[in-house]
Amino acid sequence: MKLAIIGNNLTSLALAKALVNREIFVDLYYKDESKNIDKTRTIGISKSNIDYFNKNISNINQILWPIKRIKVYSENSREKEILGFEDSRQNLFSIVENYKIYNQLKNELKKNKFFKFKNSITYKRLNKINYDLLINCDRTHEITKKFFLKKFEKNYASIAFTTIIEHKKLTSNNTALQVFTSKGPIAFLPMSSKKTSIVYSVKTKRNDDTLDIKKSIMKFNSNYQIKKINKVSKFNLKSLNLRKYYKDNILAFGDLLHKLHPLAGQGFNMTLRDIEKLLVIINNKIELGLPLDQSVCVKFQEVTKSNNLLFSEGINFIYESFNFQNKIKFNFIDKTIKLVGRNKSINSYLKKIADKGLLN
C-alpha cells in the first residue's frame, strides 16, 4: 500500500505525517525543499483541531500560543465591541507560526521509515509508478492544470498584508482583536507575551504605493506599546471552491479544494477537518481489507464537498455584509450583530462552528 503526495507545503506535510502514522508508505514529490518560508505568516488552529493534530499527526503543544477571548469591532464602533467570544473552560483557539510547525513536521518525516522525499517529476512518469492514490497539494504542478482548473472563484480585489509586531511585554496577551475598517478587516493575533501577528486585508491594487500599512497598524492598535514592526509581506486575496475533487485515483487537496478570506482564520482548519475525514475513509478501507483506489476519492468528495462550499459561502457573506455597510456608511449590521451576539444560544453555536465546522 503506497501513496504519493505532490507539493511541499504545510498541508502536504501534515497529511503525509497522518498517513505514515497509520503505517502507510508515502512518497512526497517536491520542487524546491530549500525555498524560503515566510516568517510573517501565522495560522490559528481551533481547539478540536489541535486535539486531532496532537493525537493523529504530531504534538505541537510546545509551539502554540493560546487565545482565550475574541473581540470584534468596526471602525464605526471602536469604543465597544460588536461581537465577543469567550469560554471559561478552555481556549478558543491557538496561534502558531507557519515555519515552526512546517519544520517540526519535516524533521519528523525525515526520520520515518514509511516516508521519502523525492524530486518532482512529470505526470507521465508518475503515472507509470504503481501508486494506490495520488494526492495533489501543488497548484503549480501540471496535474493541477490538466485536471483541476474548473472552480467557483471570487476575486476580492484585495491584498492581505501580514507582519509581526514586537511590543512591551503583556502578562496576559490572550485576546484576539478584529476591526472591520473602511478598507477591510485587520486582525491582531497574539503569539507570545511580546509578539503579535497582524493580518490586514485591504481593498486595493497590488501596485498601490499610497498605502502606509505600518501607519494603519498604529491607527487601529489600542492594546500594544509597539517597539518594532517587522517586514510586511503581501498576497492577493481570492476565494475558490473546486468543482470536482478528483480525477480517477488523483485527489486534489488543501488550497486546491478551497480557499477562504482570512477574516475568520478558517482556511487551515478546513484542511485539517478534510484530513480527518480522509483518514476515516482510508482506515475503513484498510479494516475491511479493501484497496485504496478511486473509491476513496469518490467517498471523500461525497462527505466533504457540500459542507465545504456552504462554509465558504458563509465566510463570503460575512465579508460582503461589512463591505456593503462601509459603502453605504450606515451601521445597521453592527447593531444586528450586537443583538445576535448577546443571545447565549447563538453565541455558543457560532463558537462550535468556528471550532468544528458545520455541525452535521
Answer yes or no: is 83 within a domain: yes
Answer yes or no: is 307 within a domain: yes
The CATH number of whichever domain residue 338 belongs to comes to 3.50.50.60
Answer yes or no: is 198 within a domain: no
Q: How many degrees, rounded to 5, is the angle at CA 74 between CA 226 and CA 77?
A: 100
Cell 482506515, located at residue:
283
Answer yes or no: is 277 within a domain: yes
Answer yes or no: is 23 within a domain: yes
Report residue 70 CA to chain centroid gap.
Answer: 17
How many residues can be counted in the chain?
360
Please give the pLDDT value at position 352. 67
Closest C-alpha to 82, from 180, 201, 195: 180
Please give the pLDDT value at position 97. 93
Q: Give the domain extent around 69.
A: 2-154+238-356
| Cα–Cα dist 238/262, whole Å | 10
Closest C-alpha to 158, from 260, 74, 241, 39: 260
pLDDT in tens, 90-138: 888 999 999 999 999 999 999 999 999 999 888 999 988 989 999 999 9
Domain count, the chain: 1
Answer yes or no: is 338 within a domain: yes
pLDDT in tens, 327-352: 555 454 555 555 555 656 655 655 66
Q: Point out the residues of the chain with pLDDT beneath 70.
A: 32-36, 77-79, 88, 205-211, 321-355, 357-360
| Cα–Cα dist 11/102, whole Å | 9
Closest C-alpha to 19, from 120, 134, 97: 134
Closest C-alpha to 17, from 229, 262, 279: 279
Q: Can you say whether the dihedral through the CA atoms of 330, 333, 334, 339 is positive or negative?
A: positive
Task: Residue 156: count other Cβ atoms within 10 Å of its Cβ.
Answer: 19
Answer yes or no: is 231 within a domain: no
Please give the pLDDT value at position 146. 94
Q: At what angle do helices 344-356 and 332-342 cross, to 10 degrees?
A: 90
Please give the pLDDT value at position 148. 95
Answer yes or no: is 208 within a domain: no
